[in-house]
Amino acid sequence: MAQMNGKEVKEQIKRTIESRGPSLPVHISKAISMSSLFASAFLSELASEGIIKISHMKVGGSPLYFLPGQEQKLENFFNFLSPKEREAVTLLKDKRILEDEKQHPAIRVALRSLKDFAFAFKKGEKLFWRYFLASEDDAKNLQVDKAEIKKEEILAEEKKEEQRVEEKKEEPQENQKTLPVQIEESKTEQKTEIIIPQLIPIQSSPRKPKAKKSKEDFLNEMKRLFIQKGIVLEKVESFDNKQVFAKVRMNNTILLAVAYNKKKIDHKDLIKAYKKSTALGMGYCIFSKGELNKKAKETIEAYKQLSGVEKIVSLEENAQKLL
């Protein structure tokens, strides 16, 4: 390939993306016959100049580079999203507009990570999501729903007022709470007689039972943590409210993320994580709300200091092997 200046390289990159659509740096480097390092440098420069755009989604740990107007072609990479993200995109694409608070918690978490496919906007105090290919007119048409929103607010206020009236009816009268002590003084005997009235106990309202925790609460908490730390969730292996096992991508490396919802991690938890990661053939990392207990710390230190394990063979055994 003939020597090209920077301007020519950029023009060739633009032509490549124009013909290919959203592309990875490796595709660009092959097209311009340059190393991925140099191709990435030119791509970053074009992005800073506003000539090309960079996707938030990643394919194999790398973002996609595309020209303005090629946003629709990002749908071709739908399968690289996590299962829950794909579910959220499918739902949003079908409905065009979604009201945030009416969605399942896992879908709400997924929508917040789909910056290429879901655009957030507010109407009044409510948060909505617009599919990235839906026109802004679709969002503006929600203005006709303001009357419905106002109606909901009025009904909610009326319900609160009814509850206040009911609570007021149930409150005992003040003279039932405490009754004055009457004192009668006998003039003839000069004695003081104390008449103690009967006290009426105040009944407390029964306590409402606590709402049961969903088995997905801890999983959703971990999903939010992954998003905050820039960790890509690839697949959830298993979960409950005490532990989560999931394949994640950290720094372009696939690992098994093991999360424990407990105050202390013991050596058994370490072994469980190790066995699970070994079965899947990958490294692992542990997340926990608590700390390692003393035995777990000692176990880790013991493994660090271990240089090897050799079996002691007796002279008799050696002699038998030789025979």
Domain encompassing residue 111: 81-144
- The SS3 of residue 229 is helix
Residue 168 is assigned to a structural domain of this protein: no
Whether 292 maps to a domain, the answer reads yes
CA angle centred on 307, ends 318 and 312, rounded to 5°? 20
Asked if residue 98 and residue 118 are part of one domain, the reply reads yes
266-319 residue pLDDT tens: 888 888 888 888 888 888 889 988 788 888 888 777 766 666 567 675 666 665
Number of structural domains in the chain: 3
Same domain, 223 and 254: yes
**Which stretches does DSSP call E strand in 191-242?**
191-195, 232-239
Domain harbouring 39, CATH code: 1.10.10.10
Q: What is the pLDDT of residues 204-259, one digit of tens each?
A: 445 655 556 677 888 998 898 888 888 999 999 999 988 999 999 987 789 899 99
Where is the domain boundary, 75, 101, 124? 75
CA distance 314 to 299: 30
- Predicted confidence band of residue 154 (pLDDT cuts 50, 70, 90): low
* Gap between the Cα atoms of 277 and 285, Å rounded: 9
37 occurs within a structural domain: yes
210 CB-contact burial (10 Å; exposed 0-12 / middle 13-18 / buried 19+): exposed
- Considering the domain boundaries, does residue 24 fall inside one? yes
Record the tokens describing residue 23, joined without a space: 């592309």
pLDDT, tens digit (0-9, with 9 covering 90-100), for 17-67:
999 999 999 999 999 888 888 888 899 899 999 999 999 999 888 899 999
**Helix segments in the chain, DSSP class H:** 6-20, 25-32, 36-48, 83-95, 105-113, 136-140, 146-170, 174-177, 217-229, 267-280, 294-305, 315-322
